Amino acid sequence: MAGHPPPVWRQLFHLTAGSSIPVAGIFAPEQWMLIALAVVSGGGLGLDLARFRLSWLNRQFLRWLAPLLKYDEGHRFTGATYLVVAGLLAFLFFDAAVAVPAMLFLSLGDPVAALVGRRTRGPRVWGKSPAGTAAFIAVSLAAVGVLVGGNAIEFHWGLLVGAGIAGLVELASLPPDDNLAVPLVAAAAMHFLGV
């Protein structure tokens, strides 16, 4: 797949599809969340593995989903697969009070960081704009405010630290993918801080 996809479609998909996981985590019973995320994660992993082996399937996949994919996702797991796997692991290993904000940090912060970062001139850190990171953290802090204000979770100072850590992890682009690293590192930090 040549070139970079238009970022807006990918970011909108990331925002809506990614946010559906933590929003569902607020309302759905934990058992149903885990079952649904396991099924979707298995489907995503299965599709990616199948298209790696079947070139015709990969060609069709790239043809139909090109606006939503990064240029290198023709030969690696997609960001969407990493996102649902991260959701599964977050809700499997952490309480909803940790998993929900951690997933929202990713689903809201990542698209905002990309949109702001691409439009901001100035120095880059690891190829990314510090302004994008600041926007990521600001949106994550706003998400904490909405969750606490809406009584979805109780306030804990560790949530604020988690928002900052999520932004720094996104800036550092830890392998294998931001969609996996951001929520899991942030969730682990919040968990150990007592959230």
- pLDDT tens digits, 154-169: 999 999 999 999 999 9
Q: Where are the beta strands (DSSP E) in the chain?
A: none
Q: What is the pLDDT of residue 47?
A: 94
- pLDDT tens digits, 57-80: 888 888 887 777 777 777 789 889
Domain region containing 114: 7-192
Q: Tokens in use for 72?
A: 């290198």
Q: What is the pLDDT of residue 1?
A: 38
The answer to whether residue 54 is domain-embedded is yes
How far lies 46's CA from each of 35, 51, 109, 123, 124, in Å?
16, 9, 28, 40, 36
Q: What is the mean pLDDT of each run of 10 residues along the chain (195 residues)?
A: 52 84 94 96 95 90 77 81 96 97 96 86 81 95 97 97 97 92 98 96
CA pair distance 168, 57, nearest whole angstrom: 36
| CB 66, CB 1: distance < 8 Å | yes
Position of tokens 């807006």?
8
The answer to whether residue 2 is domain-embedded is no
- Count the residues in the chain: 195
Domain count along the chain: 1
Written as one string, the DSSP assignment of 1-21 is --SPPPHHHHHHHHHHHHHHH
The answer to whether residue 150 is domain-embedded is yes
Q: Is 128 helix (H, G, I), strand (E, B) or coil?
A: strand
The answer to whether residue 1 is domain-embedded is no
The answer to whether residue 172 is domain-embedded is yes
The answer to whether residue 122 is domain-embedded is yes
| CB 137, CB 163: distance < 8 Å | yes
| CB 88, CB 103: distance < 8 Å | no
Q: What is the pLDDT of residue 33?
A: 94
10 Å Cβ neighbour count for 184?
22
Q: What is the pLDDT of residue 115?
A: 87
The answer to whether residue 168 is domain-embedded is yes
The answer to whether residue 131 is domain-embedded is yes
| CB 184, CB 102: distance < 8 Å | yes
